Amino acid sequence: MTIRALHVASELYPLLKTGGLADVVGALPPALIELGADARVLLPGFPAVVAGLSDLQPVARIGDRFGASNVSLARGTLPANGLVVYVIRAETLYDRGGNPYLDAEHVPYGDNAQRFAMLGWTAAQIAQHLDPTWAPQIVHAHDWHAGLASAYLKAAEREHGKPAARTIFTVHNLAYQGVFPSHQFGQLGLPADFFHMSGVEFYGQMSFLKAGLFYSDRITTVSPTYAREIQTLAQGGGLDGLLSQRSHDLSGILNGVDYTVWQPTTDSLIAAHYTDTRLAGKRACKTALQERFHLAQKSDALLFGVVSRLTEQKGLDLLLAALPEIIKRGGQLVVFGTGDPALENGLQLVAQAHPESVAVELGFDETLAHQIVAGSDVIAVPSRFEPCGLTQLYALAYGSLPLVHRVGGLADTVVDASLENIADDLATGFVFERFEPEALTAAIRRAFALYARRTDWKATQRRAMRQDFGWGASAERYLALYRELV
């Protein structure tokens, strides 16, 4: 039996991306289709989404909702692979320049509750045949933006006596909870008793994330270790109680890599191609990167790269604290990202002080991201917490050894280059335990030590490049969950 599943999210690569969520939403539905499922996606009609779809056709009129008028549902396809994407056309809610969540001053839009309630509500309507030609059996919602989908479906179930679809909620990041003041609850059109501790209420406010966790039939998150971590007081973001209560419905399924996009043998964005046995192209990528960032042209300087959202989560303050170790040992560092202005400034100051060895560029650019991943010797991901992390998986594929904090998905995907792991042919990168400068510094020293032993370094690179984190296995696990539910 073909299972029909609707993925509900706010981003999808290559249409619109601020982080790994977009990569997952762009890759998981096609991987499910490959396995025989009928997977489609619902997105808000952000300008980049509308502009990037082919064959956009009207599906249904929605009318006036959540403060927007003349809302409608349209359907188009992704030019690259024909994936069917539904979009909510609501100009007043979604037609804004820049980031889907924040205004130019990095402040969340004042009507985010309505903007994303519209997303969850429309998903529930599609499950109830808003598109007369297709309705899903599974509504698979991603992160707080889509958290209300299962709440609206639960409300409809109460009205009609049976569920329109079964629901899965995937947590990509528990730190973003979609919390809004309680007085906005009235705007959502949910039954009054849903504003309850057993419901969307969260310490006197309402939380879209909690709605997803509470009302969905199953909860998944993006790595096994993170699934355990979020059930603890320290890392549960106030939701550990609910998550441990639901631990039997909660599972961790590791994200995959889309190797048609991240592949050094075919990547059209990088300076030269290379394979695990012919690494000359990687050296060319490193030279090009040093040139691009005006770093000293030293082929033997150990080059650390960072491609990251610049937020507290990513632990770059710790990297700054350990930076003297990199500089002292003749290494180099390239940081590319955007986010928290204080962190942006701090990084830029360090680059100004050490222009030969540290370069920082602010921005978001897919091409440069690929070039840094390809040209670096080490990709640093020293995150405080990391639900899965895709950057370290891309780094492995490009033979750029990941240096990571042992947390979340980082712990599940990188094996430290300790002597015994090298001896047993297991090492793929550098892993530090405690989130402290000394621990990171020790991992940096391990990287220099391994780099000095070229044969071991190359063997580790080759092993990293041969790791298989393709979507196939993970898509199988999602499909198994779908089958359990329908």
Instruction: Work out whether strand 205-207 and strand 218-221 pair parallel, antiparallel, or are unpaired.
Output: unpaired
Residue 388 interacts with ligand GLC (CB under 6 A): yes or no: yes
For ligand GLC, the binding residues in 395-424 under the rule CB under 6 A are 409
Residues that bind ligand ADP (CB under 6 A): 19-21, 23, 307-309, 336-338, 363-366, 369, 388-391
CB atoms within 10 A of CB 43: 27
- For residue 429, what are the contacts with CB-CB under 8 A and spacing of at least 6? 378, 392, 395, 396, 401, 402, 403, 404, 414, 415, 416, 417, 460, 464
- Residue 402 binding: pick among ligand GLC, ligand ADP, none (C-beta 5-8 Å cut-off by kind): none
Nearest residue to ligand GLC, using CB?
20
Q: Are 4 and 139 in contact (CB under 8 A)?
A: no
Between 199 and 256, whose beta carbon lies closer to ligand ADP? 256
* CA-angle at 350, arms to 348 and 355, nearest 5°: 90
Q: Which of 76, 389, 399, 402 binds ligand GLC (CB under 6 A)?
A: 389
Least distance from C-beta 71 to ligand GLC, angstroms? 28
Q: Give which of 120, 102, 104 is closest to 112, Cα–Cα.
A: 102
Calpha distance 294→296 (Å, rounded): 7
Q: Which of 3, 20, 271, 414 binds ligand GLC (CB under 6 A)?
A: 20
Between 74 and 396, whose beta carbon lies closer to ligand GLC? 396
Between 195 and 364, whose beta carbon lies closer to ligand ADP? 364
Residue 14 interacts with ligand GLC (CB under 6 A): yes or no: no
Least distance from C-beta 20 to ligand ADP, angstroms? 2
Least distance from C-beta 413 to ligand GLC, angstroms? 10
Calpha distance 113→117 (Å, rounded): 6
Q: Which of 229, 325, 386, 416 binds ligand GLC (CB under 6 A)?
A: 386
Q: Which residue has the tokens 């984190």?
A: 469
Helix, strand, or coil here: 383?
Answer: coil
Between 122 and 221, whose beta carbon lies closer to ligand ADP? 221
- Residue 364 binding: pick among ligand GLC, ligand ADP, none (C-beta 5-8 Å cut-off by kind): ligand ADP
Q: Give which of 216, 360, 343, 346 is closest to 295, Cα–Cα.
A: 360
Query: Does the annotation place 328 within a ligand binding site?
Result: no
- Residue 222 binding: pick among ligand GLC, ligand ADP, none (C-beta 5-8 Å cut-off by kind): ligand GLC
Between 120 and 409, whose beta carbon lies closer to ligand ADP? 409
Between 211 and 381, whose beta carbon lies closer to ligand ADP? 381
- Residue 337 binding: pick among ligand GLC, ligand ADP, none (C-beta 5-8 Å cut-off by kind): ligand ADP
Residue 11 interacts with ligand GLC (CB under 6 A): yes or no: no
Instruction: Work out whether strand 38-44 and strand 4-8 pair parallel, antiparallel, or are unpaired.
Output: parallel
Q: Are 38 and 3 in contact (CB under 8 A)?
A: yes
Between 173 and 290, whose beta carbon lies closer to ligand GLC? 173
Q: Which of 26, 44, 387, 402 binds ligand GLC (CB under 6 A)?
A: 387
Q: Please tell me the chain's helix, strand, coil percentages from 3-state DSSP, rounded to the nearest 5.
A: 40, 20, 35
Q: Which of 119, 334, 390, 397 binds ligand GLC (CB under 6 A)?
A: 390
For residue 267, report the phi and psi dihedrals to the nearest 5 degrees: -55, 115
Q: Which of 89, 145, 172, 218 binds ligand GLC (CB under 6 A)?
A: 172
Burial class (CB in 10 A: 0-12, 13-18, 19+), 159: exposed
Handedness of CA 90, 91, 97, 102 (dihedral sign): negative
**Pattern 197-226, ligand GLC, x by CB under 6 A:** -------------------------x----
* CA-angle at 221, arms to 417 and 392, nearest 5°: 30
Calpha distance 199→16 (Å, rounded): 31
- Residue 325 binding: pick among ligand GLC, ligand ADP, none (C-beta 5-8 Å cut-off by kind): none
Q: Which residues are annotated as a binding site for ADP-alpha-D-glucose?
A: 17
Give the footprint of ligand GLC on this chain (CB under 6 A): 19-21, 24, 172-173, 222, 255, 386-390, 409
Q: Which residues are annotated as a binding site?
A: 17
